[in-house]
A and B are shown apart, each in its own frame.
Chain A
Amino acid sequence: MSQQTATRTDVVLRASHVSVDYEGDSPTHAVRDVSIELSRGEVLGLAGESGCGKSTLAYAVTRLLQPPGRMVAGTVEYFDAVDDRPTDLLALDPIALRAFRWSKVAMVFQGAMNSLNPVTTLRKQFDDIFTTHQPQMDKAERVRAAGDLLERVGVERARLRSYAHELSGGMRQRVGIAMAMALDPQVMIMDEPTTALDVVVQREILDEITRLRSELGFAVIFITHDLPLLLEISDRIAVMRAGEIVELNTAYELYTNPQDPYTRQLLASFPSLTGDRGDFIRTGVHDDRLDGRDDRTKAARAERNAAERRESNDLA
C-alpha cells in the first residue's frame, strides 16, 4: 500500500520493456525493449538522430502508433495525480482511450503548420477539444476558455477568429501548445516542437514552455536531436540509438560525465558557442569532479588539437 502511494506521487508515466515493430516483409525493430519512467513535473529529454526510434517510442506510449507500426511487447502505465489506481494504457477500450487522450496526456507536434486545420478558425478547433471532452461547457464558456489559453501562451485573444495561415510559425507553435494545455494534462509530449523555427523564436517558445511548466506542473517528454537544447531545459536525458536507450542520466551528469561512446559522439557534434576557438569537442563546464574521470574526452581533445596543429604547420 505504502509502496503504491510512493509510486503514485513520484511517477506519472511508466513504460516497461516496450518494443515496437514496423511490419513488412522483414519487420523493422524500431524500439527494442525500452523501459522509461517519467516523474511528475519532470522534463525528460529524448535525444537521438533520425530513425533512432525516439518519436516511435513517444507514439507508442500514447497509443498513437499507426499500422504498420505495432507495439509488440511491453506495458505502459499512467498514474493520475488524483486517482488512486494506475491506468493500463494498453487495456483501454476505444471510448476510454478517447477520453484519456488529451485530458491526461497531450502532444505538441513538430509541424505546427500541419497540426492545425487550415480550413477552420482557431476558435472552432478549440471548440472541438471542449465539446468532445467537456460537453457541459456552453458556447460562451468555451470561447472564454480558449481565449484564456491563447493569452497564457502570449497570443492575443482576438486571434481566435484567425485561420492557421494567418499566423507566423512561432505563433502557430504557441497555439499548438495552448491546445495541448486545454484540458490541463499531466503529461505533455513534445515532438521536435521547435525544430522548424529559427533560433530567436525557438528561444521564445522554450522560455514559454519552461514558464508554463513551473506554473502548471505538468511533466514533459521533449524529443529532439538538439542535445545542447536538451541539456539546457531537461532534468534528465535519455539518449537513443537504433531503438535502444544507450544512456539515461541527469542533464548534469550526462554532460559532465558521459558514459556511452555514442553520447560522447553526439556531444562532440555541437561546437560550443563560447568555448575555445577550434575546440569542437564539448568538455562541459569546469568541474573538479571531472578531473581524472573524463580522460577519454580529454585525450580525444588533445589529439585533435595536435592533429590540427600538425595540419596547419604542414600548410604553412
Chain B
Amino acid sequence: MTSLEFRNVTKRYRVRGGGRSSELLAVNEVSFTLESGRTVALVGQSGSGKSTIAKLLLQLERPSSGQILLDGHPIGRRGRGLQEYRHHVQMVFQDPFASLNPYHTVAHHLARPLQLHHRAHGRPDVTAAVDRLLERVSLTPARQMAAKHPHELSGGQRQRVAIARALAPEPSMLIADEPVSMLDVSIRLDVLNLLAELQRQENLGVLYITHDLATARHFSDDILVMYKGRIVESGAADQVILNPQHEYTKLLAAAAPNPERRLAQMNR
C-alpha cells in the first residue's frame, strides 16, 4: 500500500513582460492523496494548473511551498532519493509522437528503464522482460514489435509503448497526463481500457489528468475539479458529475457536448 500526498502545495511562477515582473499562482494550496488501487481524475480547463500538478509530481518542478510526501516521507531532491521515488511514480505523457526517441527501437525504450531500475540484468533477462512488457500492453508478436522504431507504429501503438515503459520500473503510482487526447477517437477507449485493466492487475494508484469529463467519470473512482490553481470540488466520480455542487463544475458539465440533450428535445 503506497500513498502519495500533496500537502498544501503552492507553485508560483515569475512572469516577465513589458519590463515588469509579476507572479502567477499556478497551483494554490492544493492538498490531495493518491493511494494504490484507486484511480483519481484531475479535470479542469486549459490553464487551470493540471499540468503543473503533473510536473510537481514528477519532480520536474519544486513546490514554492508545501510538501509532497511518499508514504509520509519527503522526497529526495536528487541522486538515490530521487531514483527511489521514480521506482514508485511513473508517467505517461500526452504526445506519443514526442515522447519516444525516433532514433531508438521499441526494445531500447523498454530496456533502459528495466536496467536503470535494476529490474532485469543481462541480455537474455532483459529481452524476456521487454517481451513480457509488450505482451502486457497487447503489442504482439512481441519480438517483432520490439525491433520497430517509433515511426513504424501508429499513435495508439506508440502510446502502448509509452505505457509499457512507464510500467517497466514496476511503479505503484502512474501519472497519465491527457494520455489519449492526441489519439484517434476510435482507439481512445481501447487505450483507456488497457490502463484501467493494468491498474486493477497491478493495484496501481492512477492520476488521470484530463479535460474530458465523460471519460473521467467512467474511469475513475474519484474526481478532483481544478479551477485557477485550486481544487474547487472533489468526491466520488458519479457524485461530482451527476450532482455537481460548485458553479465551475456545473459549467464544465454543461459545456461538454451532450447529444442526448438535443435529441431528447427533438424526440419530444
The residue of chain A having its C-beta at the shortest distance from the C-beta of B266 within the complex is A252
**Within the assembled complex, what's the spacing in Å between the Cα atoms of A269 and B253?**
19
What is the CB-to-nearest-CB distance from A267 to chain B, in angstroms, rounded to a whole number? 9
* B contact residues around A199 at 8 Å (CB): 45, 211, 213, 252, 255-256
A198's partner among B185, B211, B257, B264 (CB-CB below 8 A) is B211
In the bound complex, do residue B45 and residue A268 qualify as a contact, i.e. CB atoms below 8 Å apart?
Answer: no
In the assembled complex, the Cα of A255 lies from the Cα of B214 at a distance in Å of 18
Q: Mark A41-66, 1 if CB is under 8 A from B, else 0.
A: 00000000110000000000000000
Instruction: Tell yes or no: B98 within 8 A of A by CB.
Output: no
CB-defined contacts of A278 to chain B, threshold 8 Å = 218
Q: Would you give the shortest CB distance from B139 to chain A, in whole angstroms?
A: 21
- In the complex, whether B241 has a CB less than 8 A from a CB of chain A is yes
Q: Is the CB of B45 within 8 A of A277?
A: no
A273 and B211 contact, Cβ closer than 8 Å, known pairs A199-B45, A199-B256? no
Partner of B262, one of A201, A231, A265, A270: A231
State whether the Cβ of A256 lies closer than 8 Å to any Cβ in chain B. Answer: yes
Inter-subunit contact A255/B263 (CB<8 Å): yes
Q: Is B141 an interface residue (CB 8 A)?
A: no
By beta carbon, the residue of chain B nearest A279 is: B218
**Are A280 and B218 touching (Cβ within 8 A)?**
yes
Assess whether B263 is in contact with A285, with CB atoms less than 8 Å apart. Answer: yes
With beta carbons under 8 angstroms apart, the residue of B45, B186, B189, B266 that contacts A271 is: B189
Q: Is the CB of A251 within 8 A of B263?
A: yes
A202-B263 CB under 8 A given contacts A271-B189, A272-B214: no
Q: Who on chain B is nearest to A227 by CB? A: B185
CB-CB < 8 A to A201: which residues of B?
Answer: 45
- Asked if A228 is at the interface of the complex by the 8 Å CB criterion, the answer is yes
Of A271, A275, A284, the residue contacting B263 (CB under 8 A) is A284
A232→B267 contact, CB < 8 A: no
Residues of B within 8 A of A273 (CB): 213-214, 217, 241, 253, 256, 258
The B-contacting residues of A in range 171-207, CB under 8 angstroms, are 198-203
Which residues in A have their C-beta under 8 angstroms from that of B264?
Answer: 285
B188 close to chain A: CB less than 8 A: yes
CB < 8 Å neighbour of B251 from A200, A251, A269: A200
Interface size class of B (residues with CB under 8 A): 35 or more
- B266 and A232 form a contact (CB under 8 A): no
CB of B259 within 8 A of CB of A228, answer yes
Residue of A nearest to B261 (CB): A232
Q: With the chains together, A265 CA to B187 CA distance in Å?
A: 10
Query: Given A199-B255, A232-B257, A271-B215, is A277 in contact with B238 using a C-beta cutoff of 8 Å?
Result: yes
Q: How far is the CA of A278 from the CA of B215 in the complex (A)?
A: 10
CB distance from B208 to the nearest CB of A (A): 13
Indicate with 1 or 0, residue by residue over A204-229, a CB within 8 angstroms of chain B CB atoms.
00000000000000000000011111
Fill in one digit per residue for A247-274: 1 if any B CB lies within 8 Å of its CB, else 0.
Answer: 0000110011000000001101111111
Is A287 close to B, CB under 8 A?
yes
Known contacts A269-B188, A277-B238; A203 and B260 CB within 8 A of each other: no
CB distance from A275 to the nearest CB of B (A): 8
**How many whole Å from A108's CB to the nearest CB in chain B?**
18
CB <8 Å contact, A285 and B260: yes
Which residues of A, 103-122, contact B by the 8 Å Cβ criterion?
none
Contact B258 A232 (CB under 8 A): yes
Knowing that A266-B186, A271-B217, A285-B267 touch, tell me 13 more A-B residue pairs with CB under 8 angstroms: A203-B255, A227-B185, A228-B257, A228-B259, A229-B257, A252-B266, A252-B267, A255-B263, A266-B185, A271-B214, A273-B241, A274-B260, A280-B189
Residues on A lying within 8 angstroms of B by beta carbon are 49-50, 169, 198-203, 225-229, 231-232, 251-252, 255-256, 265-266, 268-275, 277-278, 280, 284-285, 287, 315
5 contacts between A and B (CB under 8 A): A200-B251, A226-B257, A232-B262, A271-B189, A273-B241
Nearest 5 pairs of A and B residues by beta carbon: A231-B259, A203-B255, A198-B45, A229-B257, A228-B257
